[in-house]
Amino acid sequence: MTASRPTTRPRKEPSSAKPGRKAAARRSGAGHRTDLLEAMLRIRRFEERCVELYSAARIRGFVHLYIGEEAVAVGVTGALEPGDAVVSTYREHGHALARGLTPESVMAEMHGKATGCSGGRGGSMHLFDASRRFYGGSAIVAGGLPLAAGLALADLMRGLPGVTCCFFGDGAFAEGEFHETANLAALWNLPLLLVCENNLYAMGTALAREHAQTDLAMRAASYGMPAWAVDGMDVEAVEQAARRAVGGIRAGAGPHFLELRTYRFRAHSMYDPDRYRDKAEVERWKSRDPIARLTERMRDGGELDDEALARTEQRLAEEIDHAVTAAERAPEEPVGDLLRHVTSAPYGEVSRP
């Protein structure tokens, strides 16, 4: 195959990267911290409810919890605009909710109902909403990376200003797809934000048993892109880093890489007995809980009191109750519709030789 280099934007130096005026206006203030806290709490409470429903066999299939990592989804999506695209993983409830998919549409999807964001066909690992440019949800480790490069390339070639943001794990970093994507993205100066959620494990395999060099940001930088490691347990630090990176990408400096150092408080999935981690290690990371950290910071600054927190918790509980009730009452897709979306034209209308 021959392909000319599709760069239509000249590469600029990353040092010119500055957040736009709109981003700067949103950056500080108690109101913004309240939004960040609420967004993280929504994800935490939503997933805690999923655990209850799963234990009662009211939802089934694979479920990978994001609990502990909420600062990453909330901080990064806080730096994005509606026209930007997001590509996610199978641990994506947090990414989807932070991107604005409603708890109702995600909960219905968890229940396999027709009102779910993927029409009930995807379940926990395949949340999708093209109207929000949220392009899944995929069970294939690293599978989202080349798709994200394709979306970024399409936006670039069409002259659209969007940034494509791709979430993936430290395990995905070990896959060829990451390295192929990073190389082409840098070569073609793609508007791509690579967000590596380094939670120190790929299923039961610890980072140091999988990577000869565990400094992932340094390795990403070797592709010729700006790359930083960030405290992924501090939502404000994540948002600040993401704004800087997105600013650089919009200014034409090409792909950027963020390594978010984070931790999942729960097992890999609902099936995992979690026997490969020292309990003391889990407790140490829990003491850095991103929700508790922001709450404390806000209390210290006089921006939050018990009453305000209780009101937020109450509102979120009602929102999630409503999502569960609606999901349980929602219809399943009629059997007669099951072949829709399987072929490009409705079944029976496809011409056959």
| Residue 334 per-residue DSSP state | P
Closest approach of ligand TPP to the CB of residue 307, in Å? 36
Enumerate helices (H) and strands (E) in the chain, giving the number of each. 14, 7
Q: Read off the tokens for 31.
A: 């109101």
141 near ligand TPP (CB under 6 A)? yes
282 near ligand TPP (CB under 6 A)? no
Q: Read off the tokens for 176.
A: 């060829």
94 near Mg ion (CB under 5 A)? no
From residue 149 to residue 178, what is the string marking binding to ligand TPP with x (rule CB under 6 A)? --------------------xxxx------
CB 212 within 8 A of CB 29: no
CA–CA dist 296, 157 (Å, integer): 46
Closest approach of ligand TPP to the CB of residue 204, in Å? 9
232 near ligand TPP (CB under 6 A)? no
Write out the binding residues for Mg ion, residues 145-174 only, by CB under 5 A.
169-171
To the nearest 10°, report the CA torsion of 186, 189, 190, 194: 40
Which single residue is written with the structure tokens 């981003």? 23
Residue number, 199 or 295, with CB nearest to Mg ion: 199
Write out the binding residues for Mg ion, residues 197-256 only, by CB under 5 A.
199, 202
CB 17 within 8 A of CB 247: yes
> Taking Cα atoms as reference points, which of 113, 117, 114 lies closest to residue 100?
117
Q: Read off the tokens for 40.
A: 């993280």
Single out the residue of 20, 102, 119, 140 in contact with ligand TPP (rule: CB under 6 A): 140
CB 126 within 8 A of CB 138: yes
From residue 66 to residue 105, what is the string marking binding to ligand TPP with x (rule CB under 6 A)? -------------------------x--------------
CA–CA dist 319, 312 (Å, integer): 11
Residue number, 170 or 259, with CB nearest to ligand TPP: 170
> Taking Cα atoms as reference points, which of 170, 120, 172, 124 lies closest to residue 144?
172
Q: Which stretch binds Mg ion (CB under 5 A): 127-135, 142-150, 176-184, 194-202?
A: 194-202
46 near ligand TPP (CB under 6 A)? no
139 near ligand TPP (CB under 6 A)? yes
199 near ligand TPP (CB under 6 A)? yes
Site residues for Mg ion per CB under 5 A: 169-171, 199, 202
Site residues for ligand TPP per CB under 6 A: 91, 139-141, 169-172, 197, 199, 201-203, 268
